[in-house]
Amino acid sequence: MKIVSLVCVILIGSAAYAQDTSHVTKARVKSKGDIWAGDSVTITVPANGNTKEFEGIELYVKTRFQAVPLTWDSVTGEGFYEYTYTVGDFDAKPLPADYSNTKVRIISIKSFRDKENKLLTVFFCQGRKPNEVIWVYVEKAFFAGEIILPTSP
């Protein structure tokens, strides 16, 4: 069951990575297994008995703000990464263990290619403060047991 759920997430991430945003105004219908911006993911406990921090989840804190000539759609999450991370400075660190057993809202979902050209899916989730964003590296956090994916209606 765990692998089937993750395959759905990877396929969703792949579709988001290759998605054409010119049709954003079209109505979307949620199907079983879909995970969208606005859903919540449960952060469980750090992997491998780590008592200080998570392995597959990071906390980004924006430390310098500048006017950004971009916008993003807060309903679909489209453009969030570009809007938030194009300009400004950030501190990044592994998510501390005090986030254990909390639900966080997914702001946006994006897929990236790593140095080996492997597709990585990231959930950008709302932190505790307005300038904090939690980066959930979905595959790594999921297989480490650090997150529980949202269930569909």
pLDDT at 2: 53
pLDDT digits (tens, 9 = 90+) for 138-150: 999 999 999 999 8
pLDDT at 122: 96
pLDDT at 72: 87
pLDDT at 84: 86
Average pLDDT over the chain, rounded to whole?
A: 82
Residue 129: how many other CB atoms lie within 10 Å: 9
pLDDT digits (tens, 9 = 90+) for 114-132: 899 999 999 999 999 999 9
Residue 23: how many other CB atoms lie within 10 Å: 8
Distance CA(100)–CA(116), nearest Å, equals 31
Higher pLDDT among residues 89 and 60, named by residue = 60
Q: Examine the pLDDT at 1 and tell me if it is beyond 60.
A: no
Q: Examine the pLDDT at 56 and tell me if it is beyond 90.
A: yes
Higher pLDDT among residues 71 and 56, named by residue = 56
